[in-house]
Structure 1
Amino acid sequence: MNTSTPLHERISEVAATLTPSEAQVAAFIAGNPALVAVSSTVELGTYTSTSDATVVRTAKKLGYANFRELRRSALAASGRQRDPSKVLDDQLGRINSSGSGARRVLRDTADVLTQFEADLDELSWDRAVTAMAGAARVITYGIGPSGCIAEYLSICLNRAGVRSSNIRAAGFALADHLLDLSDRDVVVVFATMRRFREIDVVLNHAAKAGATTILVSETLGVALRDRVDIVLATPPTTTGTSDGVVTGMIVARALDLSVAAQNQTAAVGTMQRLNALRAEIVGGKLDAED
């Protein structure tokens, strides 16, 4: 393997040769290069529920002479992941070399979703669904593109008969939206990549209020695990042409349907009332596609 081969390409090249425990380490490395860059083999063994020996074997299978070389490569990878312009440059390079931009994006997105299904922590998922279904109110939050996911989930939940509100405010305006948080609320935070200060404020205040917190993130699960009740981790997308927002939308859709299924009769009834209201607004019967 070429010594200049980037970390994520190395992982892709040797994926089929890894044992299940080594694959677990490799997946963690791919999703958390910044953390890998400052961790020891023992710490990575703990993070991945494997061992320091497994971490060392994985590093060697990736073509590194030692763990120190892997950490240097992880540091370089994390630097590119934090720079949106470099991520875009890498993605456009993949599009230009693929022959078909549409097929490359579709293939990469399918790969991410397949990985998400394979890595899904069903216990955490069930805990999240149970918490949301039993909440007095589900509050969703996100900034930028993640805010679109949060708003989508809130709309869907309301249409399924689950009381929900969405917060997209940032800066001083955020404070007004946090005043009435209570221990009967569930707060779902979408933070695909970046850890904005507002994310910390929302989590801090939710903890003080006694609200249950759920984090959906591609990169922040490990860093914020001790700050939230439930983490729903999604696979890394910066190494391909897919996007974390796409995965987030799938998570939101699956959460909505899973929660609605807890009280199917109420969910269907709410949708019937919504459709009746729409018909009143347009002055006639709505077709199914409306």
Structure 2
Amino acid sequence: MVPEDANPSSIGPRIRMMLPSLTPREAHVVEAVLAMRDFGVETPLKRIAAGTGVSEAMVVKITKKLGFDGYRGFRAALAQYNRLPAAGMHQDLSPEDTSREIIEKVFRTSIHALEETLAILDVEAFDRAVDAIHGAQQRDLYGVGGSAQIARDVGHKFLRIGLRASVQDDAHMMAMSASLLEPGDIAIGFSHSGNTSAVIEAVQLARRNGARTLAITNYDRSPLAQQAEIVLCSTAQGSPLMGENAAARIAQLNILDAVFVAVAQRDYARAERNLDKTMSAVAANRRDKTL
């Protein structure tokens, strides 16, 4: 649900995060409104209904399902969001774009994702995730495809400060590893959509065994989010060419960089000692050029 008193910067992303919980027809209406560049406090209800092929009552019903008191509350909140400078940063890519336009659009989409993810990030959930990771005996990280790359990056960072983590990107390996988790361990599932079956099933199994569970996803009502004890959400708008994943990956990496720093801070002296050890261990493999 989108709180009526939500931070204006969070209105757009919170509405987008609700899309998976809507019916296809309801989602179509919301996506059409979000795509309207001229949507504002004067946009009449009948224009939305006529433009999307639904009744005015249907539009009102959808706005209430999103957590608003009706169309007027929805319109006021979204109009306020649309007036923010960051709201206009996202621009879709097109086949006619020049190299300069491509560069600017890609960078602005990522910056936009970072700004909006910061606006919606749940600090309480963040602290719970940090405490659970820091205190865990075993840390299992599950992800497929691009999400597996994020999991590997996080596992690498944790190892640098002496926190061992197992990264699994195969459904069978996830299931086997999750079956061995127990109270005092944590399973972290990575899935942009929150619909990746192998990750959901592994997190479910880990939770049944008493392990803590954390979801890193773009949708807080996704199946993965519903199965996890703790949820950290990114948010990103995509394009037909890039999809949402590209910008969301940047946002998720930043969330997890912050998690890494906070985990290290829990025992900074130990983290610093282990960082010195791991850096020394790989120093021999570097070739610093001398002039």
Question: Shared fold by TM > 0.5?
Answer: yes
Deviations 1:186-205 (A, max 9, x none): 11111112512112211210
Q: Distance in 2 between matches of 1:61 and 1:131?
A: 35
Q: CA RMSD in A?
A: 3.2
Residue among 24, 29, 52 paired with 2:69: 52
Cα deviation, residue 262, structure 1: 0.8
Q: Distance in 2 between matches of 1:183 and 1:95?
A: 55
Task: Return 5+ residue gaps in structure 1 as ranges.
Answer: 1-17, 46-50, 64-89
Partner residue, 1:145:
146
Q: Distance in 2 between matches of 1:28 and 1:262?
A: 31
Task: Return 5+ residue gaps in structure 2 as ranges.
Answer: 27-60, 80-90
Partner residue, 2:16:
30
Distance 1:94 1:251, change over 3 A: farther
Q: Distance in 2 between matches of 1:277 and 1:199?
A: 33
Partner residue, 2:201:
201
Partner residue, 2:48:
none
Q: Distance in 2 between matches of 1:210 and 1:114?
A: 35
Q: Distance in 2 between matches of 1:97 and 1:52?
A: 44
Cα deviation, residue 22, structure 1: 7.2
Cα deviation, residue 56, structure 1: 5.1
Look up the SS of the partner of 1:100 in the other structure: helix
Deviations 1:33-87 (A, max 9, x none): 2323358544421xxxxx433x553158869xxxxxxxxxxxxxxxxxxxxxxxx
One-letter amino acid of the counterpart of residue 69, structure 2: D
Matched, 1:245 2:249: yes
Partner residue, 2:30:
none
Partner residue, 1:107:
108
Relative to its length, the structure with more helix (as a share) is: 1
Q: Distance in 2 between matches of 1:20 and 1:239?
A: 26
Does the 8 Å contact 2:195/2:223 carry over to 1? no
Cα deviation, residue 156, structure 1: 0.7
Q: Normalising to structure 2: TM-score of the pair? A: 0.69
Partner residue, 1:276:
280
Matched, 1:187 2:191: no
Deviations 1:173-221 (A, max 9, x none): 4333323211111111111125121122112101111111111111254
Q: Distance in 2 between matches of 1:127 and 1:255?
A: 10
Deviations 1:72-113 (A, max 9, x none): xxxxxxxxxxxxxxxxxx954288279521122111211111
Cα deviation, residue 154, structure 1: 0.9
Look up the SS of the partner of 1:136 in the other structure: coil
Q: Distance in 1 between matches of 2:11 and 2:96?
A: 28
Percent of aligned pairs with the same amino acid: 21
Look up the SS of the partner of 1:275 in the other structure: helix
Distance 1:97 1:205, change over 3 A: same
Distance 1:263 1:98, change over 3 A: same
Q: Distance in 1 between matches of 2:210 and 2:279?
A: 36
Distance 1:135 1:220, change over 3 A: same
Distance 1:195 1:114, change over 3 A: same
Partner residue, 1:4:
none
Q: Within 5 A, what are the aligned runs for 1:57-72?
A: 57-59=73-75
Q: Within 5 A, what are the aligned runs for 1:90-239?
A: 91-93=92-94, 96=97, 99-170=100-171, 172-193=172-193, 195-238=195-238
Look up the SS of the partner of 2:193 in the other structure: coil
Deviations 1:112-149 (A, max 9, x none): 11111122211111111111111112221111000000
Partner residue, 1:75:
none
Q: Distance in 2 between matches of 1:25 and 1:114?
A: 12
Distance 1:102 1:126, change over 3 A: same
